Structure 1
């Protein structure tokens, strides 16, 4: 089994854990603060991870290039926007669908990967990616009470989710571009350096924004430092996995396999948040699982 597959599955699990804790923070602070926690509290853990990678492999940290910094900055800004939209969705849709709508990302990532990096996917891989999105559509329709496809996809929540998925797709492609722009270093080192630089940029941008526009949110973030650290740890762990997997494999494949997060999300909705799940949502999750198996078989 290629190494990127178990790394992606682990990253998806950590991401679902982070999203669940992030949703709980939404009641203690605004959308901006809940978004910042993922980056600002994750940065110290990312730095520790970079130091460990350098120490274990006995390798020096590569010198960042201009292309690397530009790609990391573009990906970081896009991810801030995507995370803001995802957290915002939690305010008026349940946890399952708030995540599901953003899962149109793999198809969009395949498009952006082609436009930005010139990467293509095989016909079988594209079929698996599309099948996963079909599963997402079934989940969204199931939650809307069995309405039509057009009505389900035309809702405010769906449009925000699709925009969220587009920004996540752009950010993932930019992160891969940043890691590939580093000529020297192991896969783990390039991924770790990309993670640290990205989180530093994201934390700096959001700290500046809150300092200028919403200092009250800064106080609320500081008061929630304990759960914030847990979100940061889970977020940094997930990002380390995503960045490593995307350094090893094309973004479309990694993000398509990452749809397994919906299986974890379904479990969270049922057993953690005590939310109801419809038959269409279960059918959509089953389609996604089958798509994932097809992707793994063709990898």
Structure 2
């Protein structure tokens, strides 16, 4: 079965997000834990969470994916920015321990005015301080396009972060197709080679989720602008090949294309029709 969903709002509650996912033919969804710019998290309702859990159980959902706010930057040279990131991150993990999800994705961050090495050290410090043994969540580093001073554009940078985390069994990676292509990994002409390199550097056992997006920018441009499936430089066929790759086929896949519900519904239909397993 193709485990696929899109980004859903939880403004009306988790049950409503689950129903929206069902309405577009999805069996999972991604959501922001709070405003993507870093506001207060939505208050949790036990009844709402129970109703979401029922939807997931009755409709064979795979794990849903929580996405950290974009303002969370553990790597920043600014202490107040790092403290803000640390506070949000720990609060989000507390939320994750209460909802039926085991995947939490975040952008590793930008070192801003220092070096990649210093940025990675700061990320490591926050992760090791915040992650607890009883956290019931895989924390996923997202592959990045490499714009500005972003960390995570290479598999080696992600590996270095993973190596420095004490509770390694709680860490994983989310591949974003737009980001890796724009970072210089040719998933159009050398998908096998890219995934073989991922396995060699990081390990496919650490790959827990996929952001499936086309891109408005060409290969190796270090840009981050998502496009609808088939309307960017990646095109439809390579993205279909991606979801059908043996290393990807069983992972939960999340669309972050610039769409409303009807657009997501069309993309999910297209991908399901071309899924070969």
Normalising by structure 2, we get a TM-score of 0.28
Report the structure, 1 or 2, having the larger strand content: 2
Report the structure, 1 or 2, having the larger helix content: 1
Bigger relative contact order (CA 8 A; separation at least 6): 1
